Structure 1
Amino acid sequence: MQERKSPFQQLDYTLLFFLFVLMCISLLAIYSAATADQYNVGPGHFIQRQLLWFAIGTVLMMGAMVIDYDFFKNLSIPFYILGMILLLLVHFFGIEINGAQRWIGIDGLFRFQPSEFVKIFVIISLAHLIYQITRTPREKSFTTDCIVVGKILAVGLPPFGLILIQPDLGTALVIGAIIFIAILMAGVTFRMIGLIMSLALGFIALLVWLHNNYFAFFSNYLIAPHQLSRIYAWLDPNANIGAEGYQLYHALQGIGAGQLYGSGFGAGVKSQSGAIPELHTDFIFTVIAEEFGFVGATVLIVVYFLLLYRMVIIAFTCNNSFGTYLVAGVIGLLVFQIFQNIGMTIGLVPITGLALPFISYGGSALITNMLAVGIVLNVNIRTRHYMFGEEE
């Protein structure tokens, strides 16, 4: 027997509440960051634009809830082809800013970053692929695992490569995280997972060896100069204060100055001095940690945890495996971005330029994450509860 509920009853208002809390934190942090000396416009400029992005994102989120997510199966190939076309357009005709060619549009009027939307296309495409792989029982063996992983990599690696050469290491790593989540959800054996992780560690070890023994080849063909500088700055920010370590050094100083309760809203010494470039975007966590302290940063992380926890519940209660895979992809997308952004701000990982989901100022990334939440809400709304079996 099926429990009949209206869409409004199925809508996860708890998840929407946590999203609203993140929006409020975003506006407070951006307002404070925009009062810093480095900006020539007042905070109202950034707040108005961020509210506009939130409004557009909300409309698109609602749009993503309207179409039955099961229909995304039919759209997975067109979405994937569209994403690849957009990435190729970026490669040949993209707008270059600060040495990176990541945008398309009309310079000076409007531009958007296709790689952000490609994240959603890859999630849908891989979810459909895994659905096809797992809908029929298969023999657990190393050979079948290799075939499964090969299919997933065949879908995931082309966008990964095109994004990597823009260069946009941060977004490429997000695609890599989505690919890894897809492999886990495909049900491969622990031996295969261990092999993949061992190959990844071996590749990192190879890069270190090439850096130490064949530096010319390493720096000319394998990594961009600014990326290498960021790694040096991450390893020793104090020795690179005047270069790529400038942001990280001052961010750590600001976070440390926040202590337990923070210096107060709009009263952060580092945040308000203009010493940290891109404060309202990539380094927005510094504002929160300095002005609201450890308590404020903890509240933000707890809200993120509760938001993701609701998504995990939706994934587990969904009785359509395709919906479960969609939600799992969105969870992987958000978890990696949250970890990477906060991690780079406190020196755990190298700086990659990823935005903090729902908090950082910006259009493309915010809209993409809102669309992702819309997909999760879509799955929750259309989950049907049966006494026996699964809806396919």
Structure 2
Amino acid sequence: MLSRRLLRNLDFMVIIVTAIIILISLLIIGSATHINSPSEDRYWYVQRQGIFALVNVVIVFIMLHFDYKSLERFGPLLYGLNLIILLAVMFVGQSALGAQRWIQIGPISIQPSEFSKLILIISLASLLDKKTGKLNSFKEILPVFFYVGVPFLLVLKQPDLGTSLVFLAILFGMLFVAGISTKYLFMIFSAGVAILPIFWHFLKDYQKMRLTVFIDPNVDPLGSGYHIIQSKIAIGSGMLFGKGLFEGTQSQLNFLPENHTDFIFAVIGEELGFVGAVIVLLLYFILLYRGIKIAGMAKDNFGTLLATGIVAMLTFHILVNVGMTAGIMPVTGIPLPLMSYGVSALTTNMISLGILLNIYMRRQKILF
């Protein structure tokens, strides 16, 4: 059992903000899907998301009983398991929307690439904990890139460019905290920019079109550019205070695709307006700020690296998702943390926040 002293050391700000975001999510998902429910129950999506949110609360509570430090010794094992699961997707995975990313387990579709982000954070933190302060030569740095490069390529093969980019955000965030030389960091970044034209040739046709319509959505207004155009219309029409819940025309009349998953922020902009969107972004800012504070207060380097990886993952998701709905980022299919509908993404985010709570709760040596 958890001691009262440990419970008193919980970060209640993270808990409260997370609960508020999930409640807003259920309201928006209900508004976005009540007309197009796959069953006779108009709130099927809301009920499903709510049930899995409660299940994840239980999982997080169980996680708090174990010291996060115990995760470090499982780093190599988790890394190997991650590769096996990602390889399994290539052979037994199901295809949807032009990508083979899901594994069907009974009535539940699992997206392994979502869980692979958290597994990468844990295994990479275990690796970098031993290399902290030593990342001052290519001999030390290149193995780290190879370590991340293998799952990166497996996810890119699905194809899932968005998740692959999340891997890079996690990698660079954790490398920075692990003390990589800024000289080498700049050289790696410059080399990455230099090979972008080569990388273009390896993209699928639909991925190239997504990048093209990012520059000009009207190149394909009824195809790849349709999402961006409708999303910008939805956000713009919300104006200051929005049209009200269940009153958004772009969402309710099915002009806005994927309105309960990738483009849920556009529904927020349309129905809750600028004020509602700012409140949601403020909640995310508080969550990320607390994550940074937790990273700084961790009792050991492994905890700092774990928290950094989680904050890097969440930050990238928020910036890219909000950016793509506003038309200032390419469409990548990255969900909005805790807000977009999806069992795999919700579970990954909840467990990640559970690890943050665990790190904060044990930020000092506490006697049991």
Identify whether the pair has TM-score above 0.5, normalized to the shorter chain: yes
1:347 CA drift (Å): 0.9
Matched residues in 1 for 2:58 and 2:329: separation?
34
1:170 aligns with 2:162: yes
Matched residues in 2 for 1:8 and 1:207: separation?
49
1:179 aligns with 2:171: yes
Matched residues in 1 for 2:140 and 2:4: separation?
37
Counterpart position of 1:112: 110
CA displacement, residues 55-114 of structure 1 (integer Å, 9 cap, x when unaligned): 1221222233222111111111111111110001111221112221111235x7332111
Counterpart position of 2:65: 66
Deviates more, 1:22-31 or 1:35-44: 35-44
C-alpha spacing 1:228/1:41, structure 2 compared with 1 (3 Å): farther
CA displacement, residues 254-275 of structure 1 (integer Å, 9 cap, x when unaligned): 1111111111111112121101
Matched residues in 1 for 2:96 and 2:7: separation?
44
SS at structure 2 position matched to 1:357:
coil
Matches within 5 A, 1:120-159: 120-134=118-132, 138=134, 144-159=136-151
Q: Contact 2:37 / 2:44 at 8 angstroms: preserved in 1?
A: no
Matched residues in 2 for 1:41 and 1:87: separation?
35
Matched residues in 1 for 2:16 and 2:298: separation?
21
Matches within 5 A, 1:191-230: 191-207=183-199, 218=201, 222-230=202-210
Matched residues in 1 for 2:217 and 2:69: separation?
48
Structure 2, unaligned stretches of length 5 or more? Answer: none
1:205 CA drift (Å): 4.2
1:318 CA drift (Å): 1.5
Matched residues in 1 for 2:227 and 2:40: separation?
21
SS at structure 1 position matched to 2:246:
coil
Counterpart position of 1:26: 25
Deviates more, 1:11-20 or 1:257-266: 257-266
Matched residues in 1 for 2:267 and 2:97: separation?
24
- Letter of the structure 1 residue corresponding to residue 180 of structure 2: V
Counterpart position of 1:283: 263
Matched residues in 2 for 1:36 and 1:44: separation?
9
Matched residues in 2 for 1:15 and 1:43: separation?
31
Matched residues in 2 for 1:258 and 1:21: separation?
21
1:228 CA drift (Å): 1.4
1:262 aligns with 2:262: no
- Letter of the structure 1 residue corresponding to residue 76 of structure 2: I
Q: Contact 2:103 / 2:110 at 8 angstroms: preserved in 1?
A: yes
Structure 1, unaligned stretches of length 5 or more? Answer: 209-217, 387-392
1:148 CA drift (Å): 3.0
SS at structure 1 position matched to 2:103:
strand
Match 1:325 to one of 305, 309, 312: 305
Counterpart position of 1:211: none
Counterpart position of 1:98: 97
Q: Contact 1:319 / 1:384 at 8 angstroms: preserved in 2?
A: yes
Q: Contact 2:37 / 2:45 at 8 angstroms: preserved in 1?
A: no
1:154 CA drift (Å): 2.0
Counterpart position of 1:215: none
SS at structure 2 position matched to 1:263:
coil
Matched residues in 2 for 1:68 and 1:33: separation?
39
- Letter of the structure 2 residue corresponding to residue 282 of structure 1: D
Q: Contact 1:61 / 1:372 at 8 angstroms: preserved in 2?
A: no
1:377 aligns with 2:348: no
Q: Contact 1:259 / 1:290 at 8 angstroms: preserved in 2?
A: yes
SS at structure 1 position matched to 2:109:
strand
**What do you get for the CA RMSD once the two structures are aligned?**
1.9
1:53 aligns with 2:52: yes
Counterpart position of 1:237: 217
Structure with greater Cα Rg: 1
- Letter of the structure 2 residue corresponding to residue 272 of structure 1: Q
1:224 CA drift (Å): 0.9
1:196 CA drift (Å): 1.6
SS at structure 2 position matched to 1:264:
coil
C-alpha spacing 1:207/1:163, structure 2 compared with 1 (3 Å): closer
Q: Contact 1:33 / 1:280 at 8 angstroms: preserved in 2?
A: yes
C-alpha spacing 1:126/1:261, structure 2 compared with 1 (3 Å): same
Matched residues in 2 for 1:42 and 1:199: separation?
53
Equivalences, count = 364
- Letter of the structure 1 residue corresponding to residue 71 of structure 2: F
CA displacement, residues 105-156 of structure 1 (integer Å, 9 cap, x when unaligned): 35x733211111111111011111111112xx64x8xxx3313321221211
SS at structure 1 position matched to 2:43:
helix
Counterpart position of 2:43: 44
1:40 CA drift (Å): 6.3
CA displacement, residues 213-257 of structure 1 (integer Å, 9 cap, x when unaligned): xxxxx3xxx111211121122111123211111111111011111
- Letter of the structure 2 residue corresponding to residue 384 of structure 1: Q
Matched residues in 2 for 1:237 and 1:93: separation?
35
- Letter of the structure 2 residue corresponding to residue 293 of structure 1: G
